[in-house]
Amino acid sequence: MGEPVPVRKGQALQPWHWEPFREMENMLGRMIGGAFPPTGWASTYLPPVDIEETDDAYIFEVELPGVRREDITIEVDGQELHISGQILEKERKGIVRQSTRRTGGFDYRATLPSGLDPERAEAHFDNGVLTVRIPRSEGKQRRRISIT
């Protein structure tokens, strides 16, 4: 894996929820973007994210191709994970004939379930994929109970 990315702690609390309209807006943007060459992107966008729950942690994998490690900010405010940053436009010497790559800011927020320990969160950035692992609190890890 890549080098660690710092994680900051804050204070806001919010319940776990799914944001179907935000997800639908991103999907519609990808569909329209594929049909019509864009002349410019919105100032911020939501990057693709996979969330995996394991017995001992929640793992977020965020696709950020073209983003530099130093342009990523990861914060945990109480029960909310916030990943933001920017993709800088490449300096060019010639005339740009077509440009469909994203530049500008990105912003991802997820409300974390209770029982996680953001103090022990880890983040790695490798090959354009940011992986954030937030472990469960000691004593709050899921365990299987045998029936006797």
76 is a domain residue? yes
Q: Comparing C-alpha atoms, which of 49, 50, 62, 64 is closest to residue 102?
A: 64
Q: Comparing C-alpha atoms, which of 26, 21, 24 is closest to residue 41?
A: 26
94 is a domain residue? no
Q: Over range 18-40, report the average pLDDT.
A: 65
Q: What is the pLDDT of residues 86-141, one digit of tens each?
A: 888 778 888 888 777 777 888 999 999 888 999 999 999 999 999 999 999 886 65
DSSP structural state of residue 34: H
- Residue 104: exposure state from Cβ atoms within 10 A (0-12, 13-18, ≥19): middle
29 is a domain residue? yes
95 is a domain residue? no
Q: Over range 61-73, report the average pLDDT.
A: 92
Structure tokens at 130: 């940011």
**Beta carbons of 83 and 132 less than 8 angstroms apart:** yes
Which CATH number covers residue 65? 2.60.40.790
